[in-house]
Structure 1
Amino acid sequence: MYRKLLLFITLLPFAAVGQYHITGRVVDIATKEPVAGASVFLSNASAGTETNSNGVFTINGVRGGQYNVVISIIGYATYTQSLLVNKDITLPDVDIVQQVIALKEVRIGPVPHWARDFEDFKREFLGSTDNARQCTILNPHVLDFDFDETRKIFTATASGFIEVENRALGYKIKYMLSEFNDDYGAGTIYFEGTAFFEDMKGTKGEMKKWLKKRQQTYLGSSMHFLRAVIANQVTEEKFRVERLIRKPNSKYTGGLNNKYIETIVTTPLVTGDYTRLTDQKGEYALEFKDCLCVIYDKNSLATSIVNINAPYAYFDNNGILLNPQDVIMQGSWGDSRLADMLPVDYEPVTK
């Protein structure tokens, strides 16, 4: 029915409880000298800055929640720190470590199959939607690819940030790729990393178009759905949730199709059937023994299957899964890739 997809992008909770600032100073761990020009950003958000000549940085307008603070500069190992933000924060000096960068092997002439591998990578990394067709990877030279013939697994690595220009949504994205595996045999995709979103500069007309397209991308998304669940506005936001019962197909002989016999129970579920409160403020959980079939009634093609493969799948006030690996998404949400990704601090236009 759907191609099975495991899409792992590390996203962190982002509870909407206020706006704060984070201040700190970045220094070389050996010399204790300040490090200027380091990029400092919050993972998968649009909040970020650079250190000044004294190594000092301030990130303003940070919404309360838990983040990964990422500090990156050429010549140093990337620094990552988990940080709970519920007030203005001044960090102690952040020590970063110089890193010896191994020179890449110089290859004379074209690398066999590199262009083909790059196209395969783009299709799975960016996606194949209208948004993806307006995305460009600006520095493809940072990418290397490999294919394990025995295991039928295609992998990609990056020697630096992958820089993406998304002209559909008006974002410049720096993506630090941790892992990328396309398992041809299992029909699964696994990629993980950290993104920083920056608004592109454009004309008034372009900015208006980008804002509209961001809104269109948000509507019907998993972020939109989970925020509607929290607000108990699932029906009002034009979502419908039904039970999908899957049973192993005794006649299954391999491949990606017909592995299960599927039955849809069309009686709509209510929020309490699959959502639980937790003892943590701003944290919620999905729990359901069968699959959830989520239909967005404003778009007949926007149907998604949610298979919870853990006792609970926790999510936060911003509609972000705390552990994306706890859920397998298929259909519309499973087809989404980086080109359809919005920063976790995105706020839709309200009328």
Structure 2
Amino acid sequence: MVGSYVGYRLAKKSVTVTAAPQQVTLELASTGNQLGEVVVKPEPNKPDELRQFTNLFLGGTSFSEQCYISNPDQVRIFLDEDTGELTARAKEFLQIDNEALGYRLKYYGLEFGYDKADGTMSYYGEPVFEEMTPRDERQQQQWAANRATAYRGSFMHFLRSLYNDRLEADGFLAQQIRMAPNPHFRRVENKRRALQQRRPNGNFTRAEKDSLARWQSVTPTLATLYPAPRPIDSLRRVSLNGERTFLRFTGELQVAYFGEAPDARYPRRMLPLGATRKPYPAKRQVSRLRLEDGEAEIQANGSLMNPLEVVNGEYWGFERIGEFLPVDYTPPAASAPAVPAKP
């Protein structure tokens, strides 16, 4: 939980959400009257680096296109020219106006990282949401509809469904992916490196370029999809006293949501779901999950105690700030989509 007020410092406290009401006290320290000081301003961000950070952080969805960073001077961006790794941080907060959802988001203490080598991205901080004022009733209704769209099939939606044992009822299909080392990868990687050492200037023949492209497609691990839906006990662990719930599974998890078509801007085809007696609906969103440390604690509101314990990929990796909702968001009541029969 976080709290903020003009003239006071941000306060935060970890809270475990339960069914019983709780009273939480946050003490906000005053910023006080500070003496004048000499401020040394850093070099402004390079336009290309700021543009790259903005695109990565906000995302590329239709809703992300309606998001704007209103104080870009508050973020400091660092780009490693050798590795392509981009990091960014905000000393106070970064403010994002989401015209699609009607939220003004203040992201306190933002820490952002993007690794170009493997395409992974992470960011964390303390988000504080403020409701924007609509122009009229029509815009208010549009915001409500867009928020429901952002929620359906989201990671928050999945975690709430998992917490309440409603995956199938809410239109989710969770499948296991077994990861194993690729026995051919090391041999292919040695060939690739040897060829690059022989041609340090990159002057490859057409045949060598074809070989490099073919070798580049060989991955270090092989993924095997098991199409049967995973039982709830293989996806979560509930503590003996019933007060704590953990996301837990082996290998990786593939999650399909059948209640909504993907955003028109999504650049990939959806991953296959394997064989089944009945064909899967064409309208679906397919994501991947990986645990960093065996399990991750889930709260009833669909948030993680430590978001860095889970890595999202595919469709959930595509959805970013444009679909970001407050943890107390309540969706409108709606009928759940049907999940195909088990294979």
Report the TM range for the smaller structure's normalisation.
Answer: 0.7 to 0.9
Q: CA offset at residue 137 of structure 1?
A: 0.9
The structure carrying a bigger strand percent of its residues is: 1
In the alignment, which residue of structure 1 is the partner of 2:177? 244
- Is 1:187–1:256's contact at 8 Å kept on the other side of the alignment? no
In the alignment, which residue of structure 2 is the partner of 1:278? 239
Q: Which runs of 5+ in 1 are unaligned?
A: 1-66
Q: Distance in 1 between matches of 2:73 and 2:28?
A: 31
Amino acid at match of 1:325: L
Helix, strand or coil: the match of 1:195? strand
Q: Distance in 2 between matches of 1:246 and 1:154?
A: 29
Amino acid at match of 2:310: V
Does residue 200 of the first structure (1) align with residue 132 of the second (2)? yes
Amino acid at match of 2:320: R
Residues 132 and 257 of structure 1: CA distance in aligned 2, closer, same or farther (over 3 Å): farther
Deviation beyond 6 Å, 4+ runs, structure 1: 99-102, 254-257
- Is 2:287–2:316's contact at 8 Å kept on the other side of the alignment? yes
Q: Distance in 1 between matches of 2:162 and 2:54?
A: 33
Residues 204 and 310 of structure 1: CA distance in aligned 2, closer, same or farther (over 3 Å): same
In the alignment, which residue of structure 1 is the partner of 2:47? 115
In the alignment, which residue of structure 1 is the partner of 2:39? 103
Residues 178 and 143 of structure 1: CA distance in aligned 2, closer, same or farther (over 3 Å): closer
Amino acid at match of 2:127: A
In the alignment, which residue of structure 1 is the partner of 2:119? 187
Does residue 70 of the first structure (1) align with residue 3 of the second (2)? yes
What is the aligned-residue RMSD (CA, Å)?
Answer: 2.7
Q: Distance in 2 between matches of 1:97 and 1:199?
A: 25
Residues 177 and 267 of structure 1: CA distance in aligned 2, closer, same or farther (over 3 Å): same
- Is 1:286–1:314's contact at 8 Å kept on the other side of the alignment? yes
In the alignment, which residue of structure 2 is the partner of 1:316? 299
Amino acid at match of 2:166: Q
Residues 92 and 261 of structure 1: CA distance in aligned 2, closer, same or farther (over 3 Å): closer
Q: Distance in 1 between matches of 2:235 and 2:169?
A: 17
Amino acid at match of 1:293: Q
Q: Any idea what the Cα deviations from partners look like across 1:202-252, whole Å, max 9, x if unmatched?
A: 111011011011111111011111211222221111111111111122333
TM-score normalized by the length of structure 1: 0.71
Does residue 265 of the first structure (1) align with residue 265 of the second (2)? no
Residues 83 and 297 of structure 1: CA distance in aligned 2, closer, same or farther (over 3 Å): closer
In the alignment, which residue of structure 1 is the partner of 2:73? 141
Amino acid at match of 1:115: P
TM-score normalized by the length of structure 2: 0.73
Q: Percent identity?
A: 27
The structure carrying a bigger helix percent of its residues is: 2
In the alignment, which residue of structure 2 is the partner of 1:344? 327
In the alignment, which residue of structure 2 is the partner of 1:124? 56
Q: CA offset at residue 273 of structure 1?
A: 2.1
Amino acid at match of 1:175: Y
In the alignment, which residue of structure 1 is the partner of 2:339? none
Q: CA offset at residue 72 of structure 1?
A: 5.8
Amino acid at match of 1:316: Q
Amino acid at match of 2:111: E
Q: Distance in 1 between matches of 2:314 and 2:242?
A: 31
In the alignment, which residue of structure 1 is the partner of 2:99? 167
Q: Distance in 2 between matches of 1:310 and 1:219?
A: 27
Q: Distance in 1 between matches of 2:333 and 2:303?
A: 20
Does residue 295 of the first structure (1) align with residue 231 of the second (2)? no
Residues 119 and 256 of structure 1: CA distance in aligned 2, closer, same or farther (over 3 Å): farther
Rg (Cα) greater in structure:
2
Q: CA offset at residue 292 of structure 1?
A: 1.2
Residues 276 and 166 of structure 1: CA distance in aligned 2, closer, same or farther (over 3 Å): same
- Is 2:49–2:79's contact at 8 Å kept on the other side of the alignment? no
**Worse-superposed segment, 88-97 or 233-242:** 88-97
Helix, strand or coil: the match of 1:136? strand
Q: Which runs of 5+ in 2 are unaligned?
A: 190-214, 262-282, 335-343
- How many residues are matched? 279
Q: Distance in 2 between matches of 1:255 and 1:197?
A: 43
Does residue 230 of the first structure (1) align with residue 163 of the second (2)? yes
Q: CA offset at residue 123 of structure 1?
A: 1.2
- Is 2:11–2:27's contact at 8 Å kept on the other side of the alignment? no
Q: Any idea what the Cα deviations from partners look like across 1:287-320, whole Å, max 9, x if unmatched?
A: 2112111111223451111112222211011121
Q: Distance in 2 between matches of 1:163 and 1:221?
A: 23
Does residue 217 of the first structure (1) align with residue 153 of the second (2)? no
- Is 2:235–2:249's contact at 8 Å kept on the other side of the alignment? yes
Helix, strand or coil: the match of 1:179? strand
